[in-house]
Amino acid sequence: MQNFVLHLPTKIIFGRDTIKNIGPETAAFGGRILLVYGSGSIKQNGIYDRVTVSLAQAGLTVIEHPGVKSNPVLSHVREGIRLAKEHKVEAVVAVGGGSVIDSAKAICAGAEVNHDVWLFFKGKKGVKSKLPLTCVLTLAAAGSEMNGGMVITNEETSQKFGTGNQLLKPEVSILDPTATFTVPPSYTAYGAVDAIAHLLEFYFTTSDPATPVQDRFMEGLTINIMESCRKVLTRPDDYQARADLMWCATLALNGLTAAGLGMVGFPMHMIEHSLSALYDVPHGAGLSVVMPAWMKWRAAEAPAKFAQLARRVFAVEEKDQYLAALEGIERLKSWFRESGSPVSLRDLDIPESAIPALADNSMALAAIWRLKEYDSAVVSSILSNCR
């Protein structure tokens, strides 16, 4: 285990009938708020009403900023920052999944500076302060509700970049599993894939070989994500399974799994971001295509950790380390397929001829994230095995 600092200041309010807390929890930070949400599904399932009633009862003045897209875009963030400044809001309320929360974080940070918010993503500026942020989560996936990360796509440059800062952690996040009952099967599965990707990125890229405490934690979460997602796909209103899936997704990327791992990388996310940036595929759908190919590529060189996963998570009994590793990867891929998440570029309608452009696109992020062992040829080779 390597040295770490862990600080998890986000207050989590989890469970049934908890959305009514958003008003009083937000009022602690000010009276004028910006309400950020997505395409309007929260108006159909009643969550919008529950949130706005609570905000009104707490006496808050609400400026609305709807319309966050599934791969959230920079122009919309900039517009949110303009609104926040114009109305002098004192806090931001995000109601949605990772895309909405990430947009809200970028607005919270951008509202405090005079330079363009994209400079944070290019690594040219660091976040020094931000508006307070409270969240109502409606999708089990990104983990953004308890961490300091944010991912935004710049439509002008076709760049999907992520960055993070301790300060960006939300002050309060409300997680009501019933808010995810109406998430369609496809996005439920993509969310589960995303959470598993967060776990396995850390699991396989830690620079320290001995992290047995974190390993077992991540293995347990992976098992639970697969089991709960399977139940939810059979019965979308299975409260306990929705609760398990939601909490697992939060725990998968709130800093706990990474604490002690030292430097980790996000190579699978790096490659997937190119798929999202150039073909606007849902993040989780892109990940389930990229992951098995990346894992096979990596396991060929260092099979031990992949064999451990295979044995502990998939109960693979194969003695040979490399064969066990491959068997584990196949079982994960089968679970992706069973869950309705794509497993090949063809499933995403992306032609093989697109591979060089995708690989080139990923190089910008490889540089920013310092993933030095990934050149365009390596990424092309991994992408050509996405089948």
Q: Contact between 4 and a second copy (CB under 8 A)?
A: yes
| Radius of gyration of the chain, Cα coordinates, nearest whole angstrom | 20
Minimum CB separation of residue 248 from a second copy in Å reads 6
CB 252 within 8 A of CB 195: yes
Least distance (Å) between residue 167 CB and a second copy: 13
Say how many C-beta atoms besides its own lie within 10 A of residue 250's C-beta: 24
For the record, the structure tokens of 336 come out as 């992706």
Return all residues near 367 (Cβ < 8 A) that are at least 6 apart.
none
Cβ distance to a second copy smaller for residue 147 or 276: 147
Is the distance from CB of 134 to CB of 19 less than 8 angstroms?
no
Size, binding site for a second copy by CB under 8 A: 37
Determine the interface stretch with a second copy among 67-75, 196-204, 223-231, 278-286 (rule: CB under 8 A). 223-231
Cβ closest to a second copy, residue 192 vs residue 345: 192
The owner of tokens 């002050």 is 171
From 168, 248, 258, 355, residue interacting with a second copy (rule: CB under 8 A):
248
Closest-CA residue to 48 (of 112, 118, 95, 105): 95
Q: In angstroms, rounded to a whole number, what is the distance separating the alpha carbons of residues 326 and 348?
A: 23
Q: Does 7 bind a second copy (CB under 8 A)?
A: yes
Tokens 């997937």 identify what position?
272
Residue among 74, 73, 105 nearest 91 (CA): 105
At its nearest, how many Å lie between a second copy and the CB of residue 211? 8
Among 121, 187, 190, 247, binds a second copy (CB under 8 A): 247
* Stretch of 12-20, 29-37, 64-72, 184-192 contacting a second copy, by CB under 8 A: 12-20
Give the SS3 label for residue 135. strand
User: In the set 163, 178, 228, 362, which binds a second copy (CB under 8 A)?
Assistant: 228
Q: Does 251 bind a second copy (CB under 8 A)?
A: yes
Name which of 304, 309, 307 is nearest 215 in CA terms: 309
Q: At a CB cut-off of 8 Å and minimum separation 6, what does 301 contact?
A: none
- Apex CA 364: angle with CA 122 and CA 37, to 5°? 55
Return the residue of 14, 279, 297, 322 that touches a second copy, per CB under 8 A.
14
Give DSSP secondary structure letters for 233-249. Answer: HH-TT-HHHHHHHHHHH
- Rounded Cα distance, 331 and 363, in Å: 30
Q: CB under 8 A: which stretch of 81-89, 248-256, 269-277, 358-366 binds a second copy?
A: 248-256
Block residue for tokens 């050149």: 375
8 binds a second copy (CB under 8 A): yes
**Contact indicator for 39, 103 with CB cutoff of 8 Å:** no
Q: Work out which of 213, 263, 302, 367 binds a second copy, going by CB under 8 A.
A: 213
**Binding residue for a second copy, selected from 118, 190, 217, 369, defined by CB under 8 A:** 217
H/E stretch holding 174? strand 172-175
Cβ-based nearer residue to a second copy, 251 or 366:
251
Which two three-digit tokens encode residue 111? Answer: 């509202």
Contact 260, 211 (CB under 8 A): yes
Distance CA 156, CA 55 (A): 35
Q: Decide if residue 234 touches a second copy (CB under 8 A).
A: no
3 binds a second copy (CB under 8 A): yes
Task: Return the residues of window 18-47 that contact a second copy according to CB under 8 A.
Answer: 18
**Residue 264 near a second copy by CB under 8 A:** no
Q: Which is nearer to a second copy, 155 or 238 (CB)?
A: 238
Task: Give least dist CB 266 to a second copy, A.
Answer: 23
User: Is there binding between residue 210 and a second copy (CB under 8 A)?
Assistant: yes
In the set 244, 261, 324, 358, which binds a second copy (CB under 8 A)? 244
Beta carbon nearer to a second copy, 120 or 202? 202
Compute the least distance from the CB of residue 370 to a second copy, in Å: 22
Among 12, 34, 84, 358, binds a second copy (CB under 8 A): 12
Binding site for a second copy (CB under 8 A): 1-9, 11-16, 18, 210, 212-213, 216-217, 219-221, 223-224, 227-228, 240, 243-244, 247-248, 251, 256, 259-260
